[in-house]
Amino acid sequence: MRRLDLPCRVERRGAGRRLSARERRRRRSEQRAAVSAVACRARQDGAVTVLGIDVGGTKVAGVAMTESGEVLHRSWREHRIRSAEGLLDEIARTADELRAALAEAAQPMPERLGLGIAAWLTPDASTIAWAAHFRIRGFPVRDAVAARVDLPVVVDNDGNAHGLGEHRLGAGRGAQSLLLVSLGTGVGGALVIGGRPLRGAHGFAGELGHVTVVEDGPLCSCEAHGCLEAFAGGQALARVGSRIAAARTLAGGRPVTAKDLVDAALAGDPASIGAVGDAGIAIAAALRRMLPAFDPEIVVLGGSVGMAAHSILLPIVEQELDALAPLQSVPQPRRIVPAALGRWSTAIGSASLALPQE
């Protein structure tokens, strides 16, 4: 399944035929040669355009964005990445589509690429230490992507990129500090303080999905037990939904997804509402552990699952935080709000990574 938003149609020669590695290299070389005049004009005009690519657990989203935050083109598709080569193929495909769109519109070519990826990175953000969704370990993603797309590349995990996007252009604009809770295939998170993601000594700061909420609870993708992700991530909610009749009915015989469970809850099914509500209780328990340490001005709930279910989740989270904080012993954020940039938050934040830093 794929979506590409373009102002005009991009012709694809040889559609329907799988290209060899040699043919792909030749096509990329032809494309770069064809757009060189446009790139030259862009440099003369002083314009800065960057690409932002978000590789989540099940989708790849990309944007071409200007320095002012204007999104010129968007790309979206689902994926089944299970190797480093597959990861590079999807990133290169998205970058090529966006550059082709810029070329057809006679717009400035990108100068850099920002990549937000669902993975644990090494402290210098150059290498995937471990990506459970993709089964990739120890892969030098920054240099490999830069060589493949012929652009300078900046990498961060998808949670930090998502948080940066919401802070700069979305629900957290103007806030001095932001805590992101992102519910997608798993659970991501980010702490943005003073306009920059707090990464920590090992790049693990803000990973709310791996805060323990129940000792000896269900097994998480990180191989620990009782993490928030094991209760509120999309995969966890899909497992719960598979035991609920209303969600199975919506699935119509295919495997139940988190979306089926959320849709059943929004339609008023009591069992589904209870299951989504349990995820809200788990989110509040994780926040209870984070808020005293960081005291953020705003908490943003995002991700595909978080956005779909925010009308159920947010009241429960607020109620649980009030109950867990008698006499205001736990600092409360000024606002708990849904993400404003929707499913493009992480791609936009990834593009922001590639912009000149203030």
pLDDT tens for 34-50 read 444 444 444 445 579 99
pLDDT tens for 260-292 read 999 999 999 999 999 999 999 999 999 999 998
Please list, in sequence order, all residues whose beta carbon lies within 8 angstroms of the beta carbon of residue 132, skipping any fewer than 6 positions away. Answer: 221, 222
How many domains does the chain contain in total?
A: 2
In-domain check, residue 50: yes
In degrees and rounded to multiples of 5, residue 357 shows phi and psi of: -80, 145
Q: Are residues 14 and 157 in the same domain?
A: yes
Q: Are residues 114 and 208 in the same domain?
A: no
CB 278 within 8 A of CB 265: no
pLDDT tens for 113-137 read 999 999 999 999 999 999 988 999 9
Q: Are residues 216 and 90 in the same domain?
A: no
Q: Are residues 117 and 186 in the same domain?
A: no
Q: Are residues 349 and 334 in the same domain?
A: no
Region 153-157: mean pLDDT is 97
Q: Are residues 95 and 36 in the same domain?
A: yes
**The pLDDT of residue 27 is above 90:** no
**The pLDDT of residue 256 is above 80:** yes
Q: Are residues 7 and 146 in the same domain?
A: yes
In-domain check, residue 293: yes
Q: 150-154: which pairs have CB atoms within 8 A and are 24 or more residues apart?
A: 150/28, 150/32, 151/51, 151/95, 151/110, 151/111, 151/112, 151/113, 152/111, 152/112, 152/113, 152/354, 153/112, 153/113, 153/114, 153/115, 153/354, 154/112, 154/113, 154/114, 154/115, 154/125, 154/353, 154/354
Which of these, 175, 67, 53, lies nearest to 111 by C-alpha position? 67
Q: Are residues 271 and 204 in the same domain?
A: yes
In-domain check, residue 358: no
In-domain check, residue 168: no
In-domain check, residue 282: yes
pLDDT tens for 178-222 read 999 999 999 999 999 999 999 988 888 998 999 999 999 999 988
Q: Are residues 148 and 211 in the same domain?
A: no
In-domain check, residue 335: yes
Q: Are residues 111 and 158 in the same domain?
A: yes
Which CATH number belongs to the domain containing residue 83 in this structure?
Answer: 3.30.420.40
Domain that includes residue 89, residue range: 2-163+345-353
In-domain check, residue 169: no
Q: Are residues 293 and 257 in the same domain?
A: yes
Percent of the residues in the chain that have a pLDDT greater than 70, as a whole number: 85
Q: What pLDDT, on the 0 to 100 scale, is given for residue 53?
A: 99
**The pLDDT of residue 230 is above 80:** yes
Q: Are residues 198 and 74 in the same domain?
A: no
**The pLDDT of residue 237 is above 70:** yes
